[in-house]
Structure 1
Amino acid sequence: MSRLAASFVLGYHGCEARVARKIINCEEPLRASDKKYDWLGPGTYFWESDPFRAMEWAQQAKTRGRIETPAVVGAVIDLGNCLDLLNRENIELVRDAHRLFVQEQKRSGLPIPANRSLEGEPERILRFLDRAVIQFLHEIFEVAGEAAFDSVRGLFPEGDELYPGAGFRRRNHIQIAVCNPKLILGLFYPPDYPPAGD
């Protein structure tokens, strides 16, 4: 949707070191996520311009027992036809999709999902509603025969205030969900984050 910004970005994907090696060696593709709580809908997720945050995510996944050895894969990404939620036009598009989604859910007698926090966490990191609205928008465009979104990009304020009264938060980030894997143009290890043993 948005071609008003630069199309190429560097993104960083946190994962298991063993998987990172297979991805870099073209033995295994990057996997897309399609969980009901994914923040930007289905796609392969990257932290834009932030390998540190990708590693932090992988380390958190290790503490939850989801991976053994944290690693980061860097990617050169063409955002293509991007639903860029840093762009006013696209924000309005998502707001309108939400209104239509709620109408459709009510008409069908279906519940409206809600974003939720994990127990003990202040952030609403389970984005059931946001994911449903973005998926609904994808479906609207598909039914209308419009060009599909290649990627979705959003800014997320997260974490504690950087200092008292700050407008900045400790874990602010831009996240990208790549829907069209053909637009992942190249993969690399970030220099400061090679996998363990390399």
Structure 2
Amino acid sequence: MDAVTPEAARLAGVTNSKPTREEAEEAVRTLIAWAGDDPAREGLIDTPKRVVKAWSEWFSGYEADPMAALGKTFEDVQGYDDMVMLTNIDVESHCEHHLAPILGVAHVAYLPRKAVVGISKIARVVEIFSKRMQTQETMTAQIADALTEAMQPLGVAVLIDAKHQCMTTRGVHHPNVSTITTTFTGEFKTDPALKDRFIRMVERA
């Protein structure tokens, strides 16, 4: 995780150079000391390295371009023109307010105009946006916008159902509350029957 792509920098609002790994590890030591423990004790001596390595994985979406993931489409679909839908795509993100985990699933559908995209690429787009510091509302819209921009489909539907650990382990401490966000574009927005069909398929998933 040594470089930030221009696309990632634009989305994240990054204007300054990225700190080094050593600087990141020192920041972790500072937080450990602030919490009241000794970053030099045996059990914590390697924690800064582990934390930075974990952040490299948790926030790998900053280095990935969703447009590149959606770059290849297929037009030879034998006239298929119905909904394409993926259900229960794992969402592992972190809220941008407390950096606490957001865990849940995404359901994504689109109505092809001329071409389809490999189904794994849709899951990859969800992963790219989830591996960033996020709000669920923003992430939901970003997924729909990326599919719309890359494929120009007749419509896109996205529903994310997730639990926020910033609400579970701190603050109000309500562990059983799910947050559901949706974005509908094109025919999913204008055709109530199509939207209802999407929702029914989500409920059966």
TM-score bracket, normalised by the shorter chain, equals under 0.3
| Bigger fraction of residues in helix | 2
Larger radius of gyration: 2
- For normalisation by structure 2, the TM-score amounts to 0.26
